[in-house]
Amino acid sequence: MSEAPIHAGNTAQADYWNGVAGRRWRDRQDHQDEVLKPVSDQLIATADPKPGERVIDVGCGCGATTIEFAQRVAPGGEVLGLDISEPMLARALERAEPGLPARFALADATVHQMAPNWADLVVSRFGVMFFADPALSLANIRRGLRPGGRLAFVCWREARQNSWMITPLREAAKHAPPLPEMGPEEPGPFAFADDARVRRILSEAGYADIVVAPHDLDLDIAIGRGLDSAVEGALAIGPTSRILDGQSAAVRAAAAADIRAALAARMVGDSVPLGAAIWIVTAVNPSP
C-alpha cells in the first residue's frame, strides 16, 4: 500500500498501529472479532444499512465491520474502509471475497481527501477515539457524508465499567509497573468516555440530532473455548499485554497465574463473560 499523509498530531498513533500492536491485532483477528461480535451486531442494528447505500467505515482495522456492511448494502452499494494500520488493512484485503462491494484505503481520516457527499452512512467500531483533534477529524469525515446522511459509531465508556479489560489488567498490575497515566481526553480507547465531550465534539464538527446512548453487554473473552483461550487472549492484546511487555518470564508467569485465577472465578461453562460498557452514538449531517 502507498504511504498515506498523516496529521502531525496522529503520528504516534500511526507508529503504534503499524508496529507491534497492529501485528498483534492482525494475528489475533479471528479471536478479537468473535469477542467483539456483540458490539458489531449492535452497531449494524443501529446503523441499519440498506441495499444500494454507500458507507465509510472509519478505523476499519482487519475489516470485520467493513465486510458485514458490504454484505448488507449489496446489491448496488459500496463500503470504503479507512485505517492507518497497514498490517491490519492487509489482513482485511485477504478476507474480502472477490466481488464484495468493499474497498480499503490506508488513510488518516483527519486529512484524507473525502469524496464530497459520497456516503449515505459513516460507521465506526472503536475507531474514532484515537484522533489528536477529534472535532477536526470528524468534520473532515462529514465532508464525505451527503446532506441528511447518518453517522453511527460505538465507543467505550469509563474503564472501570469495562471489567472485560480491567479484570486481567488489575491482576497484571500486581506484578509489573503500571502504564503511564493518560489524561481523560488524550487519544486512546477511553477518550470518548465522557458523553458530554462526545456531544461537544460532534457539535463542533457540524453534526446535528446527536444521540449518545449507554449500552451494557457481556463479552465472552474465551469465545466459548475455555479458560486457556481467555487467558491467552488477555495476555496477547490490549493494556494487559502492554504492561507485561519486556518483563521477565517469572513476572509474566506470576501475572498469568493470577489472571487465570481471576478469570476462573467468572467462568460459565466454557465461556468467561465479563461486563462491557459502551456508548452508541448517532448523528446526522444536516442539510444546508
pLDDT of residue 178: 87
β-strand partners of 216 = 277
Q: What stretches in the chain show pLDDT beneath 50? A: none
Q: Which three cell numbers stand for residue 122?
A: 459513516
pLDDT of residue 183: 81
β-strand partners of 284 = 150, 208
pLDDT of residue 2: 53
Radius of gyration of the chain (CA): 19
Residue among 114, 133, 130 at smallest CA distance from 188: 130
Residue-wise pLDDT tens digits, 92-102 = 999 999 999 99
pLDDT of residue 4: 83
Q: Which three cell numbers stand for residue 1?
A: 500500500
pLDDT of residue 226: 97
pLDDT of residue 181: 81
Distances (CA, A) of 54 to 77, 127, 174, 280: 5, 18, 48, 21
pLDDT of residue 1: 55
DSSP 126-160: S-SS--SSHHHHHHHHHHTEEEEEEEEEEEE--GG
Helix (H, G, I), strand (E, B) or coil at 117: coil
pLDDT of residue 185: 86
